[in-house]
Structure 1
Amino acid sequence: MADLEQLKTRTRADYRYILEYRTRWSDNDMYAHMNNSIYNHLYDSVLNAYLIEHCGFDLNTSPQHSRVVHSHNDYFAPISFPACAELALRVNRIGNSSVTYEIALFEKGQEAVKSVGEFVQVFVTRETGRPSPQGMEPNMRRGLERILVKSIPSKL
């Protein structure tokens, strides 16, 4: 993942897929901004929406399903009800059976990023719950490659 200062400069153009979410009154906490747990819920929703829409993933019948093995989030500014959030998704790395996502949350009509998170997901076979020796399904890999952002290695 990029360093914190770099994450604070993210724009919508840094991402390949955006999903809108209308905040709800119940998303706010006692401090009148969206509760931290809601961010993870939304991040999980945007990446699964992408998998279903663009990777042929079916929650009930796909031969593989996924497990989130790592997640974290950096918060830069609050968002609260009533607002429309824009969840921006990209893939930073694809492994044999794992994928590292970066998800940003923007507020519609505002340029500055509100938060940036990371999820690492491992695709496992339904029968064993373990990663397949063949890796993730080809349709899944192709769909994820569409939103893969290849970083340029820094020169020392």
Structure 2
Amino acid sequence: MAYGELKNRRRKDYGYLLEYRTRWSDNDMYDHMNNSIYNFLYDSIVNTYLIEECGLHPPTSPQYGLVVHSHSDFFGSIAFPAVAELALRVNKLGKSSVTYEIALFERGVDEVKAVGEIVHVFVDRETGRPAAKGMNGDLKEGLRKILVQQSKL
């Protein structure tokens, strides 16, 4: 994805939104939110969506997602006491993998602050290996709700 294209992302480009009130401890010595917090927030919105919309119960579900890739592009900073607005969509949905795109906005500001990507491979709990028959129906159905493009397999 081109850097300029990501920088032009808006909330309307995403199918699921979640707020996060920044904390004093999120700031680093440079007086902005530490990079590690972005990853924490990306993981949080993805798992909140999986729990709320896909029927995932992390401790007991027969399948769960393992992160096999993640990265972030930064366009601006955010700092306590701002409220972050996280936005989520699915860019690619495979048999046992999914590519999420997450945007971080600051409440009241139109421009995106960061756009991240996480790739999950869903594995069977019993084997720890990629789901041989693919993701279960509830997972796939929930992820399709926020899918913006289907890859050509």
- Secondary structure, aligned partner of 1:113: coil
Aligned twin of 2:8: 9
For 1:5 and 1:56, the matched residues in 2 are separated by: 35
Which residue type is aligned with residue 101 of structure 1? Y
Q: CA RMSD in A?
A: 1.4
Matches within 5 A, 1:45-124: 45-124=44-123
Q: How many residues align?
A: 152
For 1:57 and 1:127, the matched residues in 2 are separated by: 16
1:89 positional shift: 0.2
Deviations 1:90-110 (A, max 9, x none): 000001100000000000000
Which residue type is aligned with residue 42 of structure 1? L
Structure 2: stretches of 5+ with no match in the other structure: none
Structure 1: stretches of 5+ with no match in the other structure: none
Deviations 1:17-68 (A, max 9, x none): 0000000000000000000000000000000000000000001111001100
1:150 positional shift: 1.9
For 2:54 and 2:131, the matched residues in 1 are separated by: 18
Deviations 1:60-94 (A, max 9, x none): 11100110000000000000000000000000000
For 1:26 and 1:133, the matched residues in 2 are separated by: 42
For 1:25 and 1:77, the matched residues in 2 are separated by: 18
For 1:60 and 1:76, the matched residues in 2 are separated by: 35
For 2:130 and 2:121, the matched residues in 1 are separated by: 7
What TM-score, normalized to structure 2? 0.97
For 2:48 and 2:111, the matched residues in 1 are separated by: 24
Aligned twin of 1:29: 28
Identical aligned residues as a percent:
64
1:133 positional shift: 1.4
Aligned twin of 1:43: 42
Aligned twin of 1:128: 127
